[in-house]
Amino acid sequence: MPDQDASSLPPPDRSPRAAQPADEPLRPAANAPESAGVLPWSGAVPDEAPIVVAELVEDPYPLWPTFLTIVLAIGGAVLVSGIVMMVAAFWARGPVLFQRPGAFNAWFKEFVTTQGGLVLLVLPGQLTFCAVAVMAASLSREKVVDRLGLRCGNFPPWTWPLFLLGTPVLVIAVGQLLSYVVREPSEQLKMLEDLFATHAAGSLITMLLLISLLPGVMEELLFRGFMQRRLLGRLRPVAAIGITTAFFAAAHMDPTHAIGVAPLGIWLGVVAWRADSIWPAVFGHVGNNACAILMSVTMGEQPDLEQLSPAVATSMELTLLVSCLSFVGCLVLLSRRTAPPVSVRPID
């Protein structure tokens, strides 16, 4: 086709067009294509286009209030327990007890062998842990039950006894390894052994309630409930569990004891994280403390199974077998359950 002269082409349309009112919906151009049956001015998105939903989240919350709360809880527990013991000593012996060197220590060792002394030794500090955890959790936007991990979580309740029975075998194995490193137990551990031997002979139920059940619930509320769940929102699970374990071990106020409970803290931290609940960890903690009491009562000054009577030795071997099988069940359960996602709290 021959080229046309520019002068022969029709002039372009330069007539002004009326502006479209602002309150009218936009209309498409006459030659605008339509995609997948969607009207161009409808604001809809074709089916093939991905829909991205943006969620407004608040800035990462600071962790220093969590650490401050734990420090106050540990310090408060020590302070409250000390005040209670001072009041009890003053009530029993008067001011003379504080004037003689060594008199208070001698009275204290004698007093804790009584049932009332055991109650005053354990109860105030554990109640302080519980009070601090609940009050701090009540300041959160979450419900206290959710904030402290008191829901059922990923593991059904019928699986929780597996951690009660399986946790002691882990602690026994670690204790055997530590016995090659720590040759001589600390004064605190010796006092605990004496307490177990003295009180278990008189009231085993009281010992299990005060040394096993009470710390198992209260300490898990504070450490795996309040602290670890907060850290998991900001840190990787390894860091969150490690930091919580460090504070948990430090709360025992004895370097040798802290080394001994550190593996327990790591195990309970992993259990609480994978379960998204502290209840399996509570069962594990209770089982560990109960095992320590029962072993102290059963074996006493005879740590070797060969020195025990055949009936006692057989029962302990069967108990150890059940604990090993339960521990394997715990590992299978932990490996099959998906860990909960770490989320940042949305703005209300």
Distance (Å, whole) CA 185 – CA 309: 26
Question: What would the pLDDT profile of 192-232 be if each residue is shown by its tens digit?
Answer: 777 777 776 667 888 889 999 999 999 999 999 999 999 99
The alpha carbon of residue 310 and the mean position of all alpha carbons in its chain are separated, in whole angstroms, by: 40
Q: Are 312 and 298 in contact (CB under 8 A)?
A: yes
Q: Are 100 and 106 in contact (CB under 8 A)?
A: no
Distance (Å, whole) CA 291 – CA 172: 9
Question: What would the pLDDT profile of 282-310 be if each residue is shown by its tens digit?
Answer: 999 999 999 888 877 776 555 555 666 67
pLDDT bracket for residue 330 (50, 70, 90): very high
Higher per-residue pLDDT: 306 or 342: 306
Residues 6+ apart with CB under 8 A from 284: 163, 164, 166, 167, 267, 268, 271
Cβ-in-10-Å burial (0-12, 13-18, 19+) of 277 comes to buried
CA distances from 228 to 151, 220, 282 (A): 15, 10, 14
What pTM, to 2 d.p., does this model score? Answer: 0.78
Q: Which residues pair with 35 in a beta bridge?
A: 38
Residues 6+ apart with CB under 8 A from 66: 226, 227, 230, 231
Distance (Å, whole) CA 228 – CA 22: 55
Domain ranges of the chain: 64-335
Question: What would the pLDDT profile of 134-188 be if each residue is shown by its tens digit?
Answer: 999 999 889 999 999 999 999 999 999 999 999 999 878 887 887 777 777 777 7
Distance (Å, whole) CA 41 – CA 34: 10
Nearest to 195 by CA among 273, 309, 109, 96: 109
Q: What pLDDT is recorded for position 322?
A: 92
Max Cα-Cα span within the chain: 126
